[in-house]
Amino acid sequence: MKRSVYLSMKSLDEARDIFLGSLGKGYLTGTEIIGIDEALGRVTAEPVFAKYSSPSYHSAAMDGVAVRAEETYGTTERRPRKLRIKKDFVWVNTGQPMPESFDAVIIVEKVHQINPEE
């Protein structure tokens, strides 16, 4: 018996029918507008965006050192860069507001601290 390496090509309509059929009955029943108190366990039909960001400030996404991204370009494990505390970086924790003039965070696991005072 000859082995078939390639999948047989399906038309877009066939592929859609196969996909929707695999979801089971009642999965897709159309769309409706409901109140927020009825939304638990439901799926949105379109993307939903908050009117205001939360938190409302730029925050650190991880523990590490806040840096100016531009000053780290070209840095690799083989071409490390020595950073000075308070001049080139400041320590930040997840969720903390990003300090003024810093725009990136190097995750703490990627930082090799040589001298805690520098």
Using the CB atoms, write b or e for 90-108: b if 16+ within 10 Å: eebeeebebeeebebbbee
Contact 104, 67 (CB under 8 A): yes
pTM of the shown model: 0.59
The predicted-structure confidence for 10-39, as pLDDT tens digits, reads as follows: 899 999 988 888 877 666 678 899 999 999
Query: H or E segment at 90?
Result: strand 90-92
